[in-house]
Structures are given as C-alpha cells and as structure tokens.
Chain A
C-alpha cells in the first residue's frame, strides 16, 4: 500500500488526504494545529461552479474563459479546463458530505455574483464558506481516520524534503513537543502549505502561512512559478492587529465604492466602468483605489438591514467588533492589502513538480490563476488540486528502494541542536518584520526597476546576516529556522518581478505600464548553487 505524506491540513491538504484514502492509500496528514486553525476557514466569499442550476447562458466554457481572462492568459489552459469541468462534481461532493450551503426556500443552493465573472455561479455558505467546507471535510477525514487510512499528526512542522537525484523520498519534520527533527519516508510528498503571507507581515490571511516550505524547497531544487503575481484585495479594513478582509460578497450584494469630494460622493468605479464597475477584477479596483489618492469607502448601508443580517453577518460583525462601525448605517473605510499568491511551486496539470515524488496543491502551487485569481476560484482550486494530486499519485510507481539519508539527517539534527542551545536574545521575528517593511514598500501594487532593486538590496543584506545570527531559543524553533527559506523566497519574488518588464494582471510596473506579447508566458525561477535563474515558459512546459 502506498504511503503518502501531506504537509498542511487546510482544504487542499484534507481533500488530497481523503481522496488518497478513497483510492486505497495510507496517509499521514501533518500540520502545526488542527484544520480548524488553517487559513482555509477564513475564505469568506464562495466557490465557483457551473452546475445544472446555472444561470441561462452560462456554461463550463464560459467559466474557463472568465478564469483565463481574469488571469491575463497566463494560467495553464488545460488545467483550467479540468478545474471548471470538475467544479460541478466538487459541489455535488460537498453537498454529499453535508456541507451547510446557503439555500433557497426549496433547499437548493443559491448563487451570487463575484468580480470578473460573466454570470452568477458562486455557491456560498453565508460569509464563511471556507469554514463550512473545512467543517465538512474534517468529518470526512475523521471517517478515514476511523478506517485507519489517515493518521493526523499535529504540532509538527516541515523542515526539509528528503531529495536525492531529482527524486523525493519524504521529509524531515520538526516535532514541536519533543523539540527534535524526525524523518518520515513516503512514496509521495504533497505540499499543502498555503500562501506566503509573512513576506508582507500582517495581511488578511493566517500568520501561519509564511512561505517557508516553498522557499526551502526552492533551495532544494524545486522550480517556482509566477511569484510576482500577488493579489491585493481591494477592500480591507485596518485594525490594530491585522488587515481584516471585507468580502467581495459586499460588492456582490450591491456595495458601492466611493470617495468624498467635499460633500459629494464620487462613485469612481461606476463613473469609469459603468454600472458593473464595483465588480471589476481585484487588481484593477486595487489600483483605482490607490489612484484616487483619497480615503475610499464601501457602502452597503442602503440595502435592507435584514439582507445584511442574513447574507453578510460576518462582515457586519467584523466592522462592529474591530472598528465599531455599523454597516447598516455607515460606509466602511477600505484600502487594498495583500490577499492571495498566484505564484508558488511550479506544477504540471497533474500537480507534480520538477522533482519526482513531490507534489503541491492549494495556494502553495501555481497553475490555475495565472496573473490574477477570480473570487470564488481559490476554494475550487484547493478542492480540485487535492483531488487531482491524489489521482496522479495513484498512477505513479511506488518507491522500490529507499535512498539513504542517514548522514544528511545527522548533519541537520546537529545543526538544529546547536540552534536550540543558542542563548542570544535576538529574535528572528525582527528580521521578519524588516522583511515585511521592505516588501510592503518595494513589492507593492505599483512597482518599478528602482523600487525592486532597492528591495533586492535589502533582502540580500538580511540573507547575509541570517546565517550568522544566534537566535532567541525561547521562541519557537520554527520561527528561527524558517527565516532563511522565507528570505530566499522573498528575493526570488523580487527577482521575478524585476524580470517581468511589463504590466499584466496583478503585476503592475510604472516603468512598463502595458502588457506585451513577449511576456505572455509564465515566469519560472530556479536555484542552483546560490544563483537564481529566471526563464519564461514560452514552450508551455508546465501546461501538461
């Protein structure tokens, strides 16, 4: 029986685990905490699918076209066709396992509109769709735990992959309770570690999604893709502890963006783009908000309070709790913030990487969203990628012979022990904070060669000191050892942004403000003996 190791237990990790178990494989599902603490629970808006209940005129092909167009034609078209074609089955699956979707009076799921979509095709569970999908999947994982096919292991973190001659044999994990590194061998290693939030400090997402695993795998030879494409959610609310996301559902329900010019409200999106202006894609709205140079507000106060209470209760609660704003009476002050990473580990449409036996799913993989992601497609791609990876793994040959990693493991354990025994008061968190300042300043919504160059200079400096500092052993060892991987990933992202001398999707360069045919290809970056090499995938290597 094949043994599969999955790192990350959000929606994509759980879906992969469930489907591997359904296909008769044994799974170890690794994460620092329970799935209820994964970033997936924060996905608010919904999940896209054209089902038999679709709006008149809608079709799978239309969903495909919307997705490719939203991604500025950089997404893998074969992969997107697979994603959109299977979306109906994914909704049915979620219904079958008891997900509590929002339904009409006949108990049929209701649909809402999302930005960049031609038709209403977003299924949702109030304003907490991700949470309800997690709740349903957790129960399914439990079913397979009872059957002995899935083993959940918590309080463990990814440390490194066990890779030899282009083949992955498992991973070295950090056991937080025992404070030691432990090897786990497997026929396939699946990464489901989410986005790269910590590169930017406090974002709308979970602080546990920090990009370390992707940065570390890059150092170990995994190719990365499209790192410059970072989605800024146009409507977030500033609070002392983080940026709170104001769901696109508010605009889906009719919310209007405006700024004040004296006593006059200027509905700048509608003025420029017509009645549908508030539902334009996220990158465009984010740039338009920045371009106003004013304080921008999102108003939903004009709709019936009962509709707010029934359809937007989470948004209502966030505004009231963290800022004392009653959204049924006053507009919400909003500004863009980092929200989603279209880039990550480069995967083929079967979710394999350039390293045999290593797979990636969910937000840490890059394939469906191209240069920008449509709202409602992240939950869909998390579900679908987990499922497809499981099927690919089933078709792969099991490991016949295990490579010997004893000397590597011993060396890493010794190095790790030294780090634990260090007694410096220096917190690696300080460098993470410095990195976040650098990225927010130089890798923001509008970039230029000058800003990116300054960003790279900063990160190179942080990297140069990262190895020489002894860290505070009273913080989690993970925070300390993860620093180099995170910094490396940040440098790779800046390097990709510098190489793409055009503007496309979520990547906007003030010195190259238009898209050019030359760059209509995915960015691939690889690492070899200290050097980063950027290429553009004009041959569509990762299309199949």
Chain B
C-alpha cells in the first residue's frame, strides 16, 4: 500500500509530495502506520531513498485530545481513529490541515483557535444558569477537542479573522447557558463572528470526532440572537 504525504520541512519552505510503501496489517490506524514508517531502522521513501522522518503530532492516541488531526484521503479526521481497513483503494493520501499555517510536515499551528476565544472573552466566569439546563447538550459541547477539523471542512471558514467556525458557536453556547450574566455579550460576539456568516452547510458535524450536535448549539444561540437583534434595532 502507498502512503502519499504532503510534506514541508519548515513554515517558510515549499511543500512537496513524498510516497512510502507500507506492508502490514490493515487492522491499524493511520497513527499506527506513521509510527511504523518513522521508527524502522531507516526511513526510506518508495524509491528506496533515505529521507527525513515524518513530522506529526500525537498525545492520547485514542481520540480524546485532537493532536493528530489531519486530512486523510481528502477527509479531515484524527489519525488515531482512522483505520486502514475502512479506507478505499491502494493509496492513502495524507496532508496537513489546510486552514492553518504548516509548522512541519503534518504539524500545523492551531493557535488561532485559542486566540479567538481569548480575544472575545469566551469564558464562563461564575456558574449562574438562567433556567433548567440542557445538561446533556452542555456535556457534549464541553467535550470539544479544539482540534480544528470543523474549521478544515467548513466552506465559510478561511483564516479565522472574522468568521470563527463551529467550535466558537459551541463554546459561546456553553458560556451563555452556564452564566446568564454573560449571555448578552456572548450572544453579540456570536452574532458577529459566527451567525452572520454561517451558511449552515453543517459539514462540521460530519467530521467532529466528539459528535457535538453543533446545530443544537446554533438553534439555542439564535433564539437569543433574535432577541438581541430586536434590542439593537430599538437602540
């Protein structure tokens, strides 16, 4: 089986494709394959040339941290949760997430996710819910890995400068639901950085490794946003 990887030595260098031969079980994840390719005696490409070891990130290796997010056969996914046996064809194509700056090979810089949350004060502060909680939904939302897969697939997200993407809608909902004092401010940020630009393609939900029902967060936030629009019109 061929493993074709879009590689890049450093943030400012040119990307290039390199292929590797993998012979082994198909009962293995992409993370397992990368591990096997990297830590043989040598690492050689499919032309038998010695090459650099493949850069990629991992931590938990069980779908709980999001470190190994990448594009696998054109689908954004976690390497540790994508198994060879479930992929079609004799070639697997790996590339880094395209919506983030590349650091090295399959490693990208996703700090924009944290910067946007920081710059718009997305934090609960003190738990102070308004009404009976939708506890199950809040539990689901708090599972967000901040892995960036929702941004990678989103047709509206480009670089995080104005539209922030699905993770943002979910975190805004969590803050609103758990602190009524912040509901107004957070709804305003949500309107500016999410609601006004989301085309509801909802592809984010298809790739979310935690299966977060973002549509439900959007529905709950929009209810509040409609109230805010009325308020702003009155002003």
Contact = CB atoms under 8 A, between A and B. Distances in A.
Contacts of A176: 103
Contacts of A476: 55
Residues of B contacting A: mostly: loop
Nearest to B139: A100
Given A96-B127, A98-B179, A425-B50, A36 B118 contact: no
A208 interface: yes
Nearest to B62: A244
25 contacts: A36-B147, A37-B57, A41-B64, A42-B64, A96-B127, A98-B124, A107-B133, A107-B135, A131-B142, A131-B143, A132-B139, A136-B124, A139-B124, A139-B175, A152-B114, A154-B111, A240-B28, A241-B29, A241-B32, A241-B35, A322-B62, A425-B43, A433-B39, A474-B52, A474-B53
Interface in B35-91: 35, 38-39, 42-43, 50, 52-53, 55, 57-67, 80-81
Interface string A136-174: 100110110110000010110000000000000000000
Contacts, number: 135
A474 B107 CA distance: 14
Q: Which of A98, A433, A476 has the most CB of B within 10 A?
A: A98
Given A97-B124, A177-B103, A427 B53 contact: yes
A206 interface: yes
Given A41-B60, A241-B32, A98 B178 contact: yes
Contacts of A475: 38, 53
B92 interface: no
A41 B65 contact: yes
B142 A100 contact: yes
A132 B59 contact: no
Interface string A76-92: 00000000000000000
Interface in B102-149: 103, 109-111, 113-114, 117-118, 121-127, 132-133, 135, 138-139, 142-147
B97 interface: no
Contacts of B23: none
B124 A42 contact: no
B73 to A, nearest CB: 19
A510 to B, nearest CB: 32
A38 B59 contact: yes
Contacts of B55: 476
What 5 A-B pairs are tightest by C-beta distance, nearest first?
Answer: A474-B52, A98-B124, A139-B123, A98-B178, A135-B142
Nearest to B30: A241
Interface of B: 11, 25, 27-29, 31-32, 35, 38-39, 42-43, 50, 52-53, 55, 57-67, 80-81, 103, 109-111, 113-114, 117-118, 121-127, 132-133, 135, 138-139, 142-147, 174-175, 178-179
Interface in A451-506: 472, 474-476
Contacts of A474: 52-53
B122 to A, nearest CB: 7
A40 to B, nearest CB: 10
Nearest to B140: A100
A37 B59 contact: yes
B60 A425 contact: no
A102 B136 CA distance: 9
Given A41-B65, A427-B39, A427-B53, A135 B60 contact: no
A241 B28 contact: yes
A60 B61 CA distance: 37
B235 to A, nearest CB: 26
A39 B64 CA distance: 9
Contacts of A135: 142-144
Contacts of A277: none
Nearest to B121: A146
A23 interface: no
Given A97-B124, A131-B64, A207 B81 contact: no
A126 B142 CA distance: 12
A532 B62 CA distance: 37
A205 to B, nearest CB: 8
Contact of B59 (A128, A154, A208): A208
Given A100-B135, A240-B32, A206 B126 contact: no
A103 interface: yes
Contact of B146 (A34, A107, A242, A472): A34
Contact of B60 (A100, A143, A154, A206): A206
Contacts of A207: 58-59, 61
Given A136-B124, A146-B121, A241 B50 contact: no
Given A140-B123, A207-B59, A240-B32, A37 B139 contact: no
A475 B61 CA distance: 19
A274 to B, nearest CB: 34
Contacts of B80: 241
B39 A36 contact: no
Contacts of A435: none
Given A240-B25, A240-B32, A139 B122 contact: yes
Given A128-B143, A427-B39, A96 B126 contact: yes
